[in-house]
């Protein structure tokens, strides 16, 4: 039997659903297509064929990168004896929902780190193939730093360059110490044995609040330039985690 066993459309949740080997359902929301379409909207009026090529290529790379990221979480959790309920792919990325299970703090940290690690490996792989695929540029006799940066001139080179860029961004953003990112889970589980769970959650929540405010230093200039950009982390989950630590109400839990 193949890896994908069943597939269909979930009308209730407006999502494409397929079941992987091991009875792990994967829900792909229609909103997952939004970040794949938006970057190339400006090309459709002038170069529709090129826009279609860019959109399809970027959508495939984004799906591959996020899906493999979540599969890495599933694999790492299985190594810890923890099953997976389902995988969701939606507007802001992906989430792997795990079944109840026990693991050490370092085990949970490894589960969270497995996703960004795959993106790092993919970024390195795409970069290596890109450097091999693109022709060598002539060296400027006036100096190495006076030449313009290399540009991808073919579809293959552009795809490899974009694959490296997408995975590098996914790895960097996911490693930020904030909720609900993988970096927040990693930091929480690594800090908990030394400082306690409440203090660890408070530290990560505080870092997330700071990062959620600092991100506007990028979002606002991009918006003034006509570029709509969304960068994690969000303020609300980190503020809630910071406020909830040490209180009787449960601390928000964040799947990988």
Q: Is the pLDDT assigned to residue 214 strictly greater than 90?
A: yes
- Both 28 and 84 in one domain: the answer is yes
- Both 160 and 186 in one domain: the answer is no
- Both 32 and 72 in one domain: the answer is yes
Please, which residues bridge with residue 8 across strands?
Answer: 17
Ranking 47-61, 104-118, 174-188 by mean pLDDT, the lowest is 47-61
Domain count, the chain: 2
pLDDT value for 147: 40
- Both 182 and 167 in one domain: the answer is no
**pLDDT band for position 244 (50/70/90)?**
confident
Per-residue tokens: 34? 């939004």
pLDDT value for 183: 96
Q: Pick from 111, 145, 175: which residue ends a domain?
A: 175
pLDDT value for 153: 65
The predicted model gives 39-60 an average pLDDT of: 86
pLDDT value for 140: 47
- Both 25 and 129 in one domain: the answer is yes
Domain that residue 142 falls in: 4-175
Contact in structure between 5 and 19 (CB atoms under 8 Å): yes
pTM of the model: 0.84
- Both 171 and 183 in one domain: the answer is no
pLDDT value for 189: 95
**Which is more confident, 249 or 23?**
23
pLDDT value for 149: 47
Ranking 69-78, 152-161, 243-252 by mean pLDDT, the lowest is 243-252
**pLDDT band for position 60 (50/70/90)?**
very high
**pLDDT band for position 62 (50/70/90)?**
very high
The predicted model gives 204-223 an average pLDDT of: 90
* CA-based nearest residue to 16, from 27, 32, 5: 27
- Both 100 and 211 in one domain: the answer is no
- Both 77 and 94 in one domain: the answer is yes
Percent of the chain with pLDDT over 90: 46
pLDDT value for 144: 40
- Both 167 and 190 in one domain: the answer is no
Q: Pick from 159, 175, 191: which residue ends a domain?
A: 175
pLDDT value for 2: 54
3-state secondary structure 164-222: HHHHHHHHHHHCCCCCCCHHHHHHHHHHHHHHCHHHHHHHHHHHHHHHHHHCHHHHHHH
């Amino acid at each position: 039997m193949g890896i994908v066993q069943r597939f269909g459309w979930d009308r209730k949740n407006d999502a494409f659903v397929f079941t992987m080997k091991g009875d792990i359902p994967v829900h792909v929301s229609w909103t997952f297509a939004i970040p794949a379409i938006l970057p190339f909207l400006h090309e459709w009026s002038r170069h529709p064929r090129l826009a279609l090529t860019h959109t399809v290529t970027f959508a495939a790379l984004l799906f591959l990168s996020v899906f493999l990221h979540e599969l890495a979480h599933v694999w790492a959790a299985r190594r810890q004896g923890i099953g997976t309920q389902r995988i969701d792919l939606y507007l802001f990325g992906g989430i792997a929902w795990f079944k109840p299970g026990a693991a050490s703090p370092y085990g949970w940290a490894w589960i969270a780190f497995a996703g960004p690690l795959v993106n790092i490996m993919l970024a390195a792989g795409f970069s290596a193939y890109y450097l091999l695929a693109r022709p060598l540029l002539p060296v400027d006799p006036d100096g190495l730093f006076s030449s313009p940066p290399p540009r991808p001139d073919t579809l293959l080179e552009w795809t490899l360059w974009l694959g490296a860029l997408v995975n590098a961004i996914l790895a960097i953003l996911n490693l930020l110490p904030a909720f609900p990112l993988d970096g927040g889970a990693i930091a929480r589980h690594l800090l908990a044995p030394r400082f306690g769970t409440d203090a660890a959650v408070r530290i990560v929540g505080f870092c997330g609040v700071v990062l959620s405010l600092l991100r506007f230093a990028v979002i606002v200039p991009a918006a003034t330039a006509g570029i709509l950009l969304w960068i994690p982390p969000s303020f609300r989950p980190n503020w809630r985690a910071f406020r909830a630590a040490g209180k009787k109400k449960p601390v928000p839990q964040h799947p990988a």
